[in-house]
Amino acid sequence: MVNHVIPNTYLDALRYLSDQTFKVIAGGTDLMIQKRGTRETPPNFDSNMLYCFNLKELNYVHKEKLHIHIGSMTPLEVLLHHQDIPEIMKQVIAEMASPAIRNVATLSGNIANASPAGDSLLSLYLLNAEIVLESLNGKRVLPIDQVITGPRQTVISKDEIIKEIIIENPKFSKIQWTKVGGRRADAISKISCLSAVQIKNNKVIDFRLTLGAVYKTVIRSREIESKCIGLTLDQLKENKNTILSLYEGLIQPIDDQRSNRIYRKKVALNIIEKWIADL
Amino acid sequence: MTLIKFKLNGIDCEIESDPSLRLLDVLRNHFKLTGPKEGCGEGECGACAVLLDGKIVNSCITPLANVHMKEVTTIEGYRETNKYQVLKEAMEFENGFQCGICTPGMMIAAESLLSKNPHPTEEEVRIGISGNLCRCTGYNMIVKAVLRASKKGEGIW
């Protein structure tokens, strides 16, 4: 017998999580499909479910000096139209699913689902997102790449809930979001790439690049990025092939129903090559 | 079993039910509202679309729990409004439907768009209905209908 609970407050939710094992469900756009039953039957949830989507305390966007705090139950469509959300994140969200999905889908759902093809994750990796996990026992703040450890795998404990996501809002001279999918809406990425650069006096002072759906987690290599920072734009372009070969070593895609490893690798590298060439 | 309370087409409702039930099944089987249809059953086609606090959602992937203390409007409730009349006339004028199975969802998508953006561009209309599949019209007539409704319904959205 599975228990279904709708907590009235955030504190209630934390109490339930400390008492029993629950799966937290937000908008349900992943879980309701993954556990879908036969026609006209409820989903086959195999654990207790805690329905947190309507917790008002977790639906907010707060801008502070250098950071933006996003409540874990804030729908993507709200972020898409919010004045404090960075343009680079909005570009990603705009191509995710459809308005009906975005009205209930959340960043925290993308994090907890931990799919390598979760588009919003690329913006979180790129904006150095920190994830606030809370339980009755306290709070942990972890960088996104330490929260997600593999496909469908996170370090979120049974008694924890994602409380909020904290992102930076750095200045970039140029950003690029490329999503390769079967169609323009409602498509899960075959390959995705989000990149940003800050150039001052012809010198690269910030360089960030993330790749989705080509490895078991989103790829972001600070090692490669640090090799690009400090170069002049011309030097960056001259070193294009070296940079590409470094990324090539990290890209290890899989074959699945959406695409295959040869296509994914080739196209991912083409996107990076074009990004550098067009700078 | 949990007591779920919500407003359905303007009327306060209570239902003692499994909160994991799909909103679509509750609407069709319990409340006998068959305007929302099951197409794909996984949030891709929009045939099941309803308004949740005025915004489009797919009822086939909405757990009943998520509408607790909220307001749900189906095409049956929307039909009672002036906006519906304007949109219906525009859909008829532009022949924005053939078989009709996507039409309730398209109307809901159009309402969700126009309520926050009364004067959308063609591109914005296409984004607004991007989660609703239509296999008859090729979309152009529906896009025209929404643009027409936006013009004819000046001031009501």
pLDDT of residue A39: 86
- Tell me the mean pLDDT in the region B103-130: 98
Instruction: Provide the CATH number for the domain around residue A265.
Output: 3.30.390.50
Q: Is residue B96 in some structural domain?
A: yes
- Tell me the mean pLDDT in the region A225-240: 98
Strands B11-17, B2-8: pairing is antiparallel
Q: Is residue B157 in some structural domain?
A: no
Are A25 and A153 found together in one domain? yes
Are A36 and A82 found together in one domain? yes
Are A149 and A196 found together in one domain? no
Q: Which residue in the set A4, A32, A186 is minimally distant from B19, CB to CB?
A: A4
Are B122 and B148 found together in one domain? yes
Range of the domain at A39: 4-168
Instruction: Provide the CATH number for the domain around residue B49.
Output: 3.10.20.30
Computed over every residue of chain A, the mean pLDDT equals 97
Are B100 and B134 found together in one domain? yes
Are B13 and B58 found together in one domain? yes
Q: Is residue B47 in some structural domain?
A: yes
Which of B11, B40, B74 is at the close of a domain?
A: B74
Which of A135, A168, A201 is at the close of a domain?
A: A168
Q: Which amino acid is at A52?
A: C
Are B54 and B116 found together in one domain? no
Are B139 and B86 found together in one domain? yes
pLDDT of residue A84: 98
Are B86 and B136 found together in one domain? yes
Q: Is residue B116 in some structural domain?
A: yes
pLDDT tens readout for residues A241-267: 999 999 999 999 999 999 999 999 999
Range of the domain at B54: 2-74
Is A54–B69 a contact, with Cβ atoms under 8 angstroms apart? yes
Q: Is residue B95 in some structural domain?
A: yes
Are B86 and B54 found together in one domain? no
Which of A168, A196, A219 is at the close of a domain?
A: A168
Is A100–B58 a contact, with Cβ atoms under 8 angstroms apart? yes
Residue A278 above 90 pLDDT? yes
Are A110 and A201 found together in one domain? no
pLDDT tens readout for residues B37-62: 999 999 999 999 999 999 999 999 99
Are B59 and B89 found together in one domain? no
Are A26 and A164 found together in one domain? yes
Please choose, from the candidates B107, B132, B101, the residue with its C-alpha nearest in 3D space to the C-alpha of residue B51. B107
Q: Which residue in the set B18, B68, B128 is minimally distant from A99, CB to CB?
A: B128
Q: Is residue B103 in some structural domain?
A: yes
pLDDT of residue A174: 98
B5 touches chain A (CB under 8 A): no
Residue A100 above 90 pLDDT? yes
pLDDT tens readout for residues A15-33: 999 999 999 999 999 999 9
CA A242 to centroid of chain Cα atoms: 28
pLDDT tens readout for residues A158-217: 999 999 999 999 999 999 999 999 999 999 999 999 999 999 999 999 999 999 999 999
pLDDT of residue B49: 98
Which of A168, A193, A208 is at the close of a domain?
A: A168
Quote the percentage of chain A above a pLDDT of 70: 100
Q: Is the pTM of this model over 0.95?
A: yes
pLDDT of residue A80: 98
Are B109 and B136 found together in one domain? yes
pLDDT tens readout for residues A133-165: 999 999 999 999 999 999 999 999 999 999 999
Nearest CA in chain A to B5: A6
Instruction: Provide the CATH number for the domain around residue B134.
Output: 1.10.150.120
Are A195 and A157 found together in one domain? no
Are B95 and B69 found together in one domain? no
Helix axes B103-116, B82-94, angle to 10 degrees: 120
Are A239 and A209 found together in one domain? yes
Q: Which two tokens stand for residue A30?
A: 């992943």
Chain A to chain B Cβ contacts (< 8 Å): 104
Indicate the pLDDT class of residue A1, thresholds 50, 70 and 90: confident
A214 and A262 in contact (C-beta within 8 Å)? Answer: no
CA B114 to centroid of chain Cα atoms: 12
Q: Which residue in the set B22, B44, B70 is minimally distant from A42, CB to CB?
A: B22
B59 touches chain A (CB under 8 A): no
Computed over every residue of chain B, the mean pLDDT equals 97
pLDDT of residue A29: 97
CA distance A112 to A95: 20
Q: What are the C-alpha distances in Å from A230 to residues A205, A223, A236, A248, A266?
A: 6, 13, 9, 22, 28
As for how many domains chain B has, the answer is 2
Are B39 and B101 found together in one domain? no
As for how many domains chain A has, the answer is 2
The ipTM is 0.98
Q: Is residue B138 in some structural domain?
A: yes
A97 touches chain B (CB under 8 A): yes
Among A6, A12, A47, most B C-beta atoms within 10 A, so best to mutate, is A6
A85 and A155 in contact (C-beta within 8 Å)? Answer: no
Look-up of token digits 């989507």: A53
Helices assigned H by DSSP within B50-137: 75-78, 82-94, 103-116, 122-128
A11 touches chain B (CB under 8 A): no
Please choose, from the candidates A112, A141, A118, the residue with its C-alpha nearest in 3D space to the C-alpha of residue A210. A118
Which of B29, B54, B74 is at the close of a domain?
A: B74
Which of B51, B74, B97 is at the close of a domain?
A: B74
pLDDT of residue B39: 96
Q: Is residue B15 in some structural domain?
A: yes
